[in-house]
Amino acid sequence: MMGSENNHIQESSREQMEIPILNEDDGSNDDVSTSKSYSNYCSAMTTLSSSSEHPLLTPPSIATNPASSDPLLFPSHDPFPESPSYADVIISPLEDSPTVSSDGDGGSDDVHRKLRVSPRSQLEGSEYLRITVSDPKKEVESSNSFVPGGNSYVTYLITTNTNIHEYRGSDFRVRRRFRDVIMLADRLSEGYKGYFVPIRPDKSVMESQVMQKQEFVEQRRVALEKYLRRLVMHPVIKKSNELKEFLTVEGRMPSSARTDVASNLLDGMMALPKQLLGESRSVIESQDAVEPAKGRRDLLSLFKELKQSVVHDWGRSRPPVEEEDKELLEKKEKLHYLEQQLTNASKQAESLVKAQEDMGDTMGELGLAFIKLTKFENDHAILNTQRVRAADMKNVATAAVKASRLYRALNAQTVKHLDTLHEYMGLILSVHSAFSDRSSALSTIQTLTSELSSLHSRAAKHETTSSKNFGGDNSRIHKLEELKESIRVTEDAKRRAIRDYEQIKDNNRSEMKRLDSERQADFVNMLKGFVTNQVLFLFKAYC
């Protein structure tokens, strides 16, 4: 009978190797949460990290003990004769992948990085910039407080370790608050128009009912770290002075009230050109301070421009001037479709993770129920047959509990890999922003062009009327001079605007190329990682 068979079954071969991927995860659950608000992934991930307190989750002992291998699974032979060797094959490419930290690599993320063979890191060779965000501390704003008790805020310690020459040093530690990050983000988006600048973390107001302050701070810390690391991975932005300043200059960063107002207004209205409310800056070279194109603009023009850009971006009603814009439209269409599919895939990925999690939970509960039953039968056993049954039950229970633990590890990994979907959704927002930089630059040109033509026609009118009147009407001559001056200035501005526009278009193009090639690599890695983990998990749990 089944009972006696059990005693004769040899413990089957089980893999003894340490598989770092599935082992490492217990400590890095906090890496999983993110504060991206445009996906519900957030909720799945915070559940995961908070559920690490589950009683079943003790650090998985990979070195399996005799009780945990299930003789019932291997009645008499090993159906996976190739499993050790196959698993070896899977593991080696993962371990051989460049451990040279790609830019922005942090220690706790290296499992993720291993599977993410980023072509960028290989190009850059030995340059690195490692950032860590830690140690949130509450500080009080002592000056300017009308509120008794003062205004309190949280600062984070930002540690940078780099060998980039321009940084003139290898280690930096500064304290920054979230407002500083907002300012950095704003400066970057102004200074790098046309580039796919990573979107900064949300300012989401803390809902005290939903979340404890500690959780919120932790979420924010993780989001900041991710954000900074993304900045550093961007080949152009990582060289920026604004970033360098942010990472290295000690002491408080100056707060710009105007920027605050700007960013408050702009939050949620990402398509609006930022240059309307602040100073417009040109692209890459920040030394090359371009004179504000709208220096003498009146309010009416501002609104005209606003309207044009809105129409241009959201309505697409203006026929594009150049042929290239057709290309732009096509790209936008494709991107829109990609965005939709990413959203959909992300949603299904979240369901998948939830289903895996539920499966793991139920298996664990089943295992526990059987363990209790086993103990019960053993305590009350009068007949030997009861003890045999109890032993059978215990084997099943142990196997179930083991599988349950591994499901947790599998899930943490699945989340990490499928997070790529997430990343790209964020990236697409950057692309939208870069495209709207272009649109607003084009709109500026068009506004300036129409300005010019109206100035010209006014000038022409003046000339005809003044030729009708005899002699020097000083005021009229003066007016004409003014008009001519305006025309010159506007023509200058238009030239500059055209230059800006062309530059932005170039940036768009090069960034699209970069996006396309990186996306290839990232998605392949994502799929590989996902599939590999499934295979590893299944072997671990059931062999």
Residues that bind another protein (CB under 8 A): 1-3, 70, 72-73, 79-80, 86, 90, 117, 334, 337-338, 341-342, 344-345, 347-349, 351-352, 354-356, 358-359, 362-363, 365-366, 369-370, 372-373, 376, 380, 383, 385-386, 388-389, 392-393, 395-396, 399, 403, 519-521, 523-525, 527-528, 531-532, 534-535, 538-539, 541-543
Helices 384-468 and 41-50: angle between axes, nearest 10 degrees: 140
For residues 249 and 355, which CB has a smaller minimum distance to another protein in the complex?
A: 355
Compute the distance between CA of residue 478 and CA of residue 406 in angstroms, rounded to an integer: 84
For residues 216 and 435, which CB has a smaller minimum distance to another protein in the complex?
A: 435
For residues 145 and 348, which CB has a smaller minimum distance to another protein in the complex?
A: 348
Helix count (H) and strand count (E) of the chain?
14, 3
List strands edge to edge, sheet with 151-162: 129-141, 151-162, 171-177
How near is the Cβ of 63 to another protein at its closest, in Å? 21
Compute the distance between CA of residue 52 and CA of residue 58 in angstroms, rounded to an integer: 9
For residues 154 and 345, which CB has a smaller minimum distance to another protein in the complex?
A: 345
Compute the distance between CA of residue 109 and CA of residue 99 in angstroms, rounded to an integer: 11
How near is the Cβ of 538 to another protein at its closest, in Å? 4
For residues 13 and 159, which CB has a smaller minimum distance to another protein in the complex?
A: 13
Which residue from 212, 221, 149, 215 is spatially nearest to 178, judged by alpha carbons? 221
How near is the Cβ of 515 to another protein at its closest, in Å? 12
Q: How far is CA 77 from the centre of its chain?
A: 48
For residues 353 and 445, which CB has a smaller minimum distance to another protein in the complex?
A: 353
How near is the Cβ of 24 to another protein at its closest, in Å? 21
How near is the Cβ of 54 to another protein at its closest, in Å? 15
Q: Tell me the HSE value of 25 on the side-chain side, using a 13 A CA sphere.
A: 26
How near is the Cβ of 115 to another protein at its closest, in Å? 11
Which residue from 54, 48, 46 is spatially nearest to 25, judged by alpha carbons? 48
For residues 276 and 543, which CB has a smaller minimum distance to another protein in the complex?
A: 543
DSSP labels, 141-170: E-TT--STT-EEEEEEEEEEEE--GGG-SS
How near is the Cβ of 229 to another protein at its closest, in Å? 23
- DSSP structure class, residue 130: E
How near is the Cβ of 344 to another protein at its closest, in Å? 5
For residues 151 and 520, which CB has a smaller minimum distance to another protein in the complex?
A: 520
Compute the distance between CA of residue 479 and CA of residue 365 in angstroms, rounded to an integer: 88
Tokens 């996306």: give the residue.
519
Tell me, what amino acid is at 442?
Answer: L
**160 forms bridges with which residues in the sheet?**
131, 172
